Amino acid sequence: MGILDVKIVQDFIRTCNDGWLQGWHERNGGNLTYRMKEEEVKECRPFFQDDDTWTDMGVTGENLSGEFFLTTGSGKFFRNVILEPESSIGIVEINKAGNAWRIVWGLKGGAKPTSEFPSHFMNHSVRYEATNGACRVIYHAHTPNLIAMTYTLPLTSYDFTRALWKSATECPVVFPDGVGVVPWMVPGGADIALATSEVMKKFDAAVWAHHGLFCSGPDFDITFGLMHTIEKAAQIYNFVMSSGQGQIRQTITDANLRAIAKEFGVVLNEEFLE
């Protein structure tokens, strides 16, 4: 029995590979983090190393003090995670102050956590608050159809949420709160991390203009499913816009949206309804 036999590590690897198979992770694009449960840390602890090098993150999340995260590695390719997990992914521990990490497993050969770790970390912090600790997964992918939409639609939550809700009937049920939008920013640092975490206070998904999507959720199925649903809706939106040359003959109306919400027992964000 090794750490790669632990269920949560296997689920993490599988999720990376699923994203690769979807075509969302060219080269080193995208990143995934998971906040581990106590019993999962216990299962993995026999395989931990004791390295006392702490790296400052430039952001602080006091509510994540002492937590352990599974993370993809900076510059690592999702395509290789299934073949070389020990060097492509790792586990980091957060310090008491909630502002630095150290590697306790994996990321072999001098690798580091994802370049977007500050964004992931701040998103974990605000989603932890927003969901009473239920949120465990933050997933960033380069979803091509959603990226394309950021060139043709105004960069507002209102425009994106309505376009996506109306692109497939299940959408309002899957993301009733809607999606947030972050304008174009330089990736990888504290500024985009703070801007994204502001948006994530209200939404479990945040569009990064001309870049991709951040999704959050309690487990891999729900979070991957959210990414998949939004990207598929974006694909339909683009098919409709290109095949119809911008003309729409009919669509899902606001009354239809309200009827779906009633039938499925979800509360739609009124800000996005007319």
Identify the sign of the CA torsion 231, 75, 193, 68: positive
User: Of the ranges 24-32, 145-153, 173-181, 195-203, which one interacts with ligand 2HA (CB under 6 A)?
Assistant: 24-32
- The C-alpha atoms of residue 45 and residue 40 are separated, in whole angstroms, by 9
107's tokens: 């990321």
Binders in 70-99 for ligand 2HA, by CB under 6 A: none
33 binds, among Zn ion, ligand 2HA, none (CB under 5 to 8 A by kind): none
x/- site string to Zn ion, residues 12 to 41, per CB under 5 A?
Answer: ------------------------------
Residue 190 has which token pair?
């504290």
Q: Build a one-symbol-per-residue string for 204-223: x at contacts with Zn ion by CB under 5 A, - elsewhere.
A: --------x-----------
* Residue 231 sits in the site that holds ligand 2HA (CB under 6 A): no
Q: Which of 40, 67, 93, 116 is catalytic?
A: 116
Contact between 28 and ligand 2HA by CB under 6 A: the answer reads yes
Is residue 187 a contact point for ligand 2HA (CB under 6 A)? yes
Q: Taking contact as CB under 6 A, which single stretch among the options 26-34, 89-97, 130-138, 232-240 is the one that binds ligand 2HA?
A: 26-34
Does the annotation mark 39 as catalytic? no
Binder of ligand 2HA out of 19, 30, 73, 106 (CB under 6 A): 30
CB contact set of 173 (below 8 Å; sequence gap of 6+): 260, 261, 264, 266
Catalytic residue ranges: 116
